[in-house]
Every structure is written in C-alpha cells, then in structure tokens.
Amino acid sequence: MKSILKYMPRLLRYLVPYWGLAVGAVAVTLAVAGVGLLAPWPMAFLVDCVLGKRPVPPWITHLFGASPPSRYALVFVAVLAGLAVALLGDLLDVLNNYLQTKLDQEMILDFRSDLFRHGLRLSVAYHDQKRSGMIIYIINSMGDAAIGLIMKIPYLLRSVATLIGMFWVCVRLDPKLALLSLTVVPLLYYSVGYYATHIQKRLRNVKGLEGESLSIIHEAISMIRVILAFGRQNYEYNRFRGQAQQAVDARIQITVRQTLFTMAVNATTAAGTALVLGFGARHVLDGKLSVGELLAILYYISAVYKPLEAISYAIGDLQDGLINIQLAYELIDTQPDIQDQPGAAVLQRVVGSVRFDDVQFSYSGREDTLKDISFEVSAGQVIAIVGPTGAGKSTLVSLLPRFYDPAGGRVLLDGVDIRDIMLDSLREKVSLVLQEPLLFSGSIADNIRYGRLEATDEEVVAAAMAANAHDFIMRLPEQYQTQLGERGAKVSGGERQRIAVARAFLKNAPILILDEPTSSIDSKTEAVILDALDRLMAGRTTFMIAHRLSTIRRADLILVMDKGCIVEKGTHEQLLRQAGLYSQLYHMQTEAMRQEELEPAGVAT
C-alpha cells in the first residue's frame, strides 16, 4: 500500500484539469450509495405493514388524505416505491458511468501522451538497448492501467460510504447482529495482505513476458521482407508461439491465484452471512426483530459485505495496477542520456566550421569505438569518411547531431562545444540522408514537408525538382498525394532515396550528413541521386560516408578510419600517393569494377 501511495500524488495531477468532472463523479457516486440505502425498505414495508400487522407510518397515511388506505393501495405504494428507487439508481448509474468514462479516457490520453512524448525524448542509446515492443506495450497499456488506479478511488469511496451507511442502519436495528457481521473483517484483512505480498513478483514477470510477445510481433512485421525471402514464416510463428505460451502459462497461474483469493473472500463473507442469518432468525423467534426488519438487515449485511468484497478485490487489483505504474514511471523517470546543459545557447546563425578535438567514444560492452579522433573542417567543405565495416564511421557522424555524446574530448561547431548548444537548435542546423531512406506511411508531400512543416506546396515541389524526384512523382496516379505505405513500401529504393534527399533540400540546413546514401542503388539511379546530392552539398559543410570510393574523388578532405582511429587523411590524390589503406581499398574496388565490366563480354563470346 505504501508503494501505491508513493505514486498517488504524481497520478493525481492528471485529475487537476478535470476537477469539475471529478467532483461531479464523486457527487453522483455518493448519491448512488444513498439510493442504495433505500433499496430494502419497500420490501420491509410490504412484509411488515401490508402483509403483517405493524402500523403504517403516519406520513404514508397522510398521502391518502382523510380516508385510511386499503391494503391494495399500500401494495401499490410499496411496488411503486421499489420501482422508483430502482429507476433512480439506474439513472444515477448511467450518469455515473458517463462521468467516470469521460474522466477516465481524458486522463488516459494525457498520461499516454506524456509517456509517448518522453519516449521520443530518450536518446538513441536507450532505444538501441530496449526492445521496441516493450516500449509500445508500456505506452499503450500501462497508461490505461495506471489511470485505472485513480478511477478506483470513486468506486472505493462509494463502497466505504455504503459500508458506513448500511452498518449504521444495522446498528440501529440490532447492534448485536451488526457487531457479529464484523467478525469477517480480520480474515479479509489477512487475505488481502497475504495476496498482496505474494503476487507482485509474479505480476511483473507476466507483464515482461507479454511485452516480449509484442516485441516479437513488432520485429517480425518490420522484417517481413527478410522473413519471406528466407522462408522463415514457420520459424517466426514457432518462436512467437513458444514465447507467447510462456506468457499464457504465467498469466494462467496468476489467474488461478486471483481466483483463489476471490474464493477466500467470498467464503469469508458467506460465513459471516450465515452467522447473521442464524442469530437473526433466533432474534425473530425471541420477538426482538420483525420478519421485515430481519429481511432489511440481511439485505444490508449482504450489501455491507458487497463493499467489503469490493474493497478487498480493489486492493487486490491495486497490486496489478502497482506493477503497471512502476513500469510506466520507470519509463518516465528514465533520464535522457542526451539533454540540454544548464545555460545552453540557441544558435542564431551557423557558418559551418566543425572541429573534433581528441574525441573518445565507447558503446556499452564495446570499448574504444572511437579513439583520439581529431580533425578540423572549414565551412562549406566536403569531408568523405571511408574505411572497412566496423571502423566507426557512422558513430563519428552520429556525434555531430548529438545522437550520442563523446566519453572524452569535444565536438565544436563554429568554435562552440555542441554540448553548450540547445539540442533542438543544434538539430535544426543538421540534415541527414541515410543509407536506408526512412519514410513515413503518409503522402509523398507529407514526407518531403517533414523537413520543414510550414513549407508551402510550391516549396515542396521545388525541393522535389532539386532532388530529381519531381518527374517520377508526376507519373504516379495521385502524384504528390500518393500514399507511400509503411516505410515507403509503394515506391522503389531509388525513389525513396530521392524523396529523402528532397526532404533534406527543404530543411536547408547548413550541415549535411550523408551516410552511404547510394550504396544499395544501381549505377544508373546512383548517377541521378549523385547529381541531386551535388546540388544539395553546394555551400554546405558535408560529411559523406562512402562505400564506393569513386563517388568521393572531389571531396576536400578524406578521412580513412580503421578500428576506431583515423589512420589517414588527405585528398584523393594525396592518399593514393601514400600507398596506405585508402590506396588498397581503391585499387581493390577498381579491380572489382573492371572484372564486372569484362564478365558480360566474356559471356558474349
């Protein structure tokens, strides 16, 4: 219970914007409890005053004027009163459900939105380490469950109010029976305590398993082309089925324990009801109670046990809610590795000079990804970065927009440490074109406009023309409104890349990062994209990771990397003369290309 109370102030702040709804929900809840107190009295009146010999209350007699009411009229009054109480209770329930549902859904949306926003703020390193499916599971499901905890408050309040009111009436009718009904409370208290202390670890485990099931689904759908290409549908099905079966088995075990807890609570209250019924019948036989009063007491005792059961179940459910809250707040309380330093400045104008000063970086579990990286770039220069796979090329350029921060050394933009620049301001000045063009499922226009959301249609078209994308877009049936599908699946790889280049054109940032943008494209399409990239690089400081060395001959500076270090630097001609790693890579590629050109001729002869 203490763990729940720890989170309650943070959860209750989501209630503040909707305090009017909350007050209305509480008021209606209390009204429902009040109407519940009236429910047994029409039956008690019917048994004692109409069917029995107890005098009719004067206020009912006055309703009929001077003539005394007949028994048939009193039956009508009792039936009408019972119907009125039932209808009033139902109407209040409808209103209560409306208010609580609206309140619940609005708060869930706010909490889920906060989880989503915070998830977007977390660093690339965090997302590299966490399974996407688990993050989706937390954002989509844990928010509902956490707010559901708050929504149990009116329900608990109603149960407590009903409990107090009905117990008070029972005391007025027969104090001994009322006190007898309380004998079950210690047993209920023990049952709840035992359940709470033994269920939390199991609940956390089953939610982890369920999140892992969602991760497998998410991963499989995102990798569907690979799965189909290798014919691994059955393998992935069996992988999901096996993992999901573990989650099902764990959930069944939890459900069995929850059912046993429910059975213990029900058995306890049933025993209490049996005690009250036995002693109550004896009191009727002794003349201490009328039959109608016994019926009313039994109704109230049953109704007293209902809120007791509800409170017990709610406290049991709180354990599930507590795990959900813990998972949600573990995400919210995760501090981004990359965030604004105190006093970080906003970039007004960027010239574009960049310097790496003795930069060191290591991934978790992988030491010395970058070692002693130092170089300087003037504004507007084109810097090519080459080297074997795993040399650290992509990691190096990822430091510039602060996807990661160096473990040692510093990166300077126009002489300012980029950690002293506000993140949003820094990233506004950097455009990125990746090896795999990442597109959203919306229209082509929306994907290009992602570079600058306020851009006009004319500016979107101009960016597409600059990227050599306009012609193929206009040949599509819906042109710029063509829906791309997930990850841009409805257009070819080269077309996706040109849309990504158009997006970079529209952003018009002074720093440009090209991470092998033509490595997976045929030579004809490569020529079209390189033509667009030449225009895009003009006047911008450009970092270009290149696999095909033939594309970087005109670079102002080439950095050759190997095992996390810069082993050579210079122009294309200078590096060839050094006869080092660059020269080896270049001659290997040249020979491979020559062999490719000769092979078709050899086949033809």
DSSP assignments along 351-399, one per residue = ---EEEEEEEEEETTEEEEEEEEEEEE-TT-EEEEE-STTSSHHHHHHT
Average pLDDT over residues 4-11: 68
Q: Cα separation of 295 and 142, whole Å?
A: 44
Query: What is the maximum alpha-carbon separation in the chain?
Result: 125
pLDDT at position 519: 61
Contact 556, 542 (CB under 8 A): no
For the beta carbon of residue 88, count every other beta carbon within 10 angstroms.
Answer: 15
Residue 42 or residue 544, greater confidence: 544
pLDDT of residue 84: 83
Tokens 């506000």 sit at which residue?
422
Question: CA distances (Å), 584 to each of 30, 388, 545, 575, in order?
Answer: 83, 11, 18, 10
- Least trusted range by pLDDT, from 295-309, 343-357, 361-375, 436-450: 295-309
Place of tokens 């104008």: 349
Task: Report pLDDT for 602.
Answer: 46
pLDDT digits (tens, 9 = 90+) for 122-180: 777 677 666 666 777 777 766 666 666 666 666 666 666 666 766 776 677 667 766 77
Q: Which domains does the chain have, with CATH numbers?
A: 2-332 (1.20.1560.10)
At 317-346, the pLDDT tens digits run: 566 666 677 777 777 777 777 788 888 888
Q: State whether residue 73 is helix, strand or coil.
A: helix
> Can you tell me the distance from the alpha carbon of 196 to that of 178, in angstroms, rounded to the nearest whole number?
28
Three-state DSSP class for residue 412 = strand
567 in helix, strand or coil?
Answer: strand
d(CA 245, CA 108): 29
- Half-sphere exposure for 145 (CA within 13 Å, toward CB): 21
Confidence bin at 1 (pLDDT 50/70/90): very low
Report the length, in residues, of the chain. 605
Question: What pLDDT was estimated at residue 157?
Answer: 65
H helices of 230-360, where? Answer: 233-285, 291-332
pLDDT grade for 228, boundaries at 50, 70 and 90: low
Query: What does pLDDT average to over the chain?
Result: 76
Q: At 231, phi and psi to the nearest 5?
A: 60, 40
For residue 482, is pLDDT > 70? yes
Q: What integer pLDDT is reported at residue 487 of this predicted model?
A: 64
Q: Cα dihedral sign for 80, 86, 87, 89?
A: positive
pLDDT of 135 reads 76
CA–CA separation, 469 and 433 (whole Å): 15
Position with higher pLDDT, 123 vs 468: 468
Contact 233, 221 (CB under 8 A): no
- Determine the average pLDDT of the residues in 91-109: 82
C-alpha to C-alpha distance for 265 and 243, rounded to whole angstroms: 33
Q: Which of 87 and 210 is assigned the larger pLDDT?
A: 87
Q: Is the pLDDT confidence value at 531 over 60?
A: yes
- Banded pLDDT at 604 (limits 50, 70, 90): very low
Tell me how far the alpha carbon of residue 561 is from its chain's centroid. Answer: 39
Residues 362-404: tens digit of each pLDDT: 887 677 788 888 888 888 888 888 888 778 888 888 888 888 8
CA distance linking residue 565 with residue 567, whole number of Å = 6
Cα(97)–Cα(377) distance, integer angstroms: 65
Would you put residue 392 in left (φ > 0), alpha (ψ -120 to 50) or beta?
left
pLDDT at 576: 83
Do 517 and 498 touch, CB atoms closer than 8 A? no
The pLDDT score that the predictor gives to residue 603 is 42
The amino acid that residue 98 corresponds to is Y
- Check: CB of residue 380 under 8 Å from CB of residue 374: no
- The two tokens of residue 97 are 């459900």
Structure tokens at 581: 């790693």
Q: Which tokens belong to 23? A: 């007050």
Q: Does the pLDDT of residue 352 top 80, yes or no?
A: yes
Residue with tokens 């980029």: 418
Instruction: Kindly tell me if the per-residue pLDDT of 601 is higher than 60.
Output: no
What percentage of residues in the chain have a pLDDT greater than 70? Answer: 74
What pLDDT score was predicted for residue 31? Answer: 82
Q: How confident is the model at residue 104 (pLDDT cuts 50, 70, 90)?
A: confident
Q: DSSP characters for 81-125? A: HHHHHHHHHHHHHHHHHHHHHHHHHHHHHHHHHHHHHHHHHS-HH
Cα 130 versus chain centre, distance: 13
Tokens describing residue 129 = 């380490």
427 is written with which tokens? 């990233």
pLDDT bin (cut points 50, 70, 90) of residue 254 is confident
Q: Which two structure tokens, joined as six digits, stand for 567?
A: 């082993």
pLDDT for position 386: 85
